[in-house]
Amino acid sequence: MNREDEKGIFYGYLVVAAAFLIMVVMWAVFYAFGVFFRPILNEFGWTRAMTSGAFSLSSISMGLLGIAMGGLNDKFGPRIVMSVCGLLLGIGYLLMSQLEALWQLYLFYGIILGTGMGGGFVPLMTTVARWFDQRRGMMTGIVTAGIGIGALVGPPVANGLISTDGWRSSYTILGSIVLVVIVLSAQFLKRDPSQVRQVSPGEEQRGKKGPPMRNGELSLGEAI
């Protein structure tokens, strides 16, 4: 008997929805940094080079952690990994609301937020890939689209908040949203269909058992 029929809707679609929502929120707050740039400069009198250096450090932190995320995701699972990333992002934004010195900018945004962002791509993509044999490219594409949507909505939302509440309160609001949305959404992430006693669509038709891929591997085309 098809496990998907027994359990109702295939759980993998919920995994895709959770991963997409996480991706949107993570990249929305990441790209919102440019909106906070001017009010921070105006308050502290720092140069553009001094302030933008925190963004560069954040990108470096993301890249360095991204190298290790595949192994961490395999060891601890996407729920734990993304919960930790959500906590780091949310706490980083909350700390930014208390910013008083340049070194804090580099610590809060460059390292803490950058580390949280570093876990946001590989675990989500490999987890979604494990859930789908058929339509794998479509599902990973949906999750990837969250990056563009986040980049589109993040700056105007941040700009509206800053205009009405100021940049410090805006960091508090966005940090709270990040904590709630990402940490809660991460609880719906399961490593693969075997955790809910299902198989991916199309798997049974070929008489296979277990997840369609080992370690959530992606083809080159799907990874791009």
Lookup result for tokens 């490593």:
191
Kindly indicate the confidence band of residue 55, based on its pLDDT and cuts at 50, 70 and 90. confident
- Separation between Cα atoms, residue 118 and residue 39, nearest integer Å: 26
Q: Look at 81-95, 118-132, 136-150 and tell me which has the smallest mean pLDDT.
A: 118-132
CA 220 to each of CA 66, 133, 217: distance values in angstroms, whole numbers, following the listed order: 17, 15, 10
Domains and CATH numbers, the chain: 10-223 (1.20.1250.20)
Cβ–Cβ < 8 Å for 94, 174: no
Q: 209 vs 1, which has greater pLDDT?
A: 209
